[in-house]
Structure 1
């Protein structure tokens, strides 16, 4: 019964719309026809619009019915916060739609229907967009604005020669743009041209590492020009870091401390290496080779594969031998982790 009433209402609306459109056309163009012929044309035009609106009503009823079913199913599973977000999106959508509809509604005949359609579309869009953001935290917007994900990393000479930066970048622990200051590149060139064979090998290794970093597609390596003169290399690095508002990547302990005092964020690769070393717990046993004497009388020194030094009490007499030891304590120092042990036999 309700569907029939809706269809009849749409049919009447279509007939009125057809009549109004044709009447406007006749008046605008000053068309003069006989009354009988004019009545026939008006009737046919009104019936045509009546039929069109009738079939439109059928489609609209089906669409609205399906939409109402979906809304009912959605309301049953929707939470209170989602309802509030949907209401907020609806209000915003209606405000935007009404602002847009102000000039459109003044258009004769089609102004009001278009304004209604715009209100419906923007209302649904507002609800949809607000519900899509229901899982996001509003306060994260301010956190994201404070933290820049693309902070440049300024690399010093010692880091490039060390070479571990290549593996760290490949593993994805450093993001953003890698900046190599021009004076660092120049220093590498001087080291590579050194007469000393060891320094020359270190310089060439640094240039090879830099070349591999540039070939790594996951990172952008940029050579940045800085016009600094009559100051030390460490001071130039700190000035460059402050200018670019970036982080200084180094393995130099003293440079790290001075840069931190000046408010520069430092990424020390040695500190990262110490942080990821496996922790030796007191009471744990392991086999190590005693390679040299310790500072105290009777002590022996061994090293783990990651470079951690083990001081063995009474280990001097086992010099050159591989012996089982038991960890007695672990000391964390600025230079790394030091393990104290004693022979297990």
Structure 2
């Protein structure tokens, strides 16, 4: 079965009168409008249109924390190489550009919340930092463990299956904390920040990235999907919606300030939104380097990055 046939077989109708339901339902599927095509290309890349004429996508819905876990468990084997995670790869590259200097300030022991397949944990371990890496997805951690073994870094990194809203560590256990492309999956973000504050020692550095809520709202309107969901697609999984709610960097700063943090830096990156796929990579990177220096560009940034320090009481 070809990829196009596989995806079509998995196209699931969503009954929008009951937002929590996802079931197979025979229906007439209309062709995509121009803005929907643009949005789908933005998420999945041009490759999705090589499958032939694409009907209006019908998503399955995975609800709540269990849904997030299942999606990443299903994606784990292909997460680092899927050609349909186009937006994820762009966001990762932009984020790494603004975080490269700040990562070096995270000291041992460091906690990586939502470590996934180990992108930042590996970078930190390679420069000698002791890292405790936490994720909700067992399958993602298995992929990460294979990478650690291949690089001989098993002594520097400790992998823990845990929930970022309920961290299994003592107070003041860490000198640095990183939470990237994960915070928006938390259904109780304030609880997560409270946990971050609890496990960080005084003057410990906390770095959080969040998807700009206004940008996510635009995407949802164009794709006609529920207000607390974001779409995923992979070679081995059907089009899927999981829980994800964006924030602004200022909102995250305010939450941090109520739990004993003082702001250090607020940055934005990935400024071109839906038009990202049309900008050649070298030009995109050049424009990004220029725009991240402009405070006025923050509202147009798809990703906001917040750096804060835990204050003495």
- Point out which structure has higher relative CO (alpha carbons under 8 A, 6+ apart): 2
TM-score by length of 1: 0.21
TM-score w.r.t. the length of structure 2 is 0.23
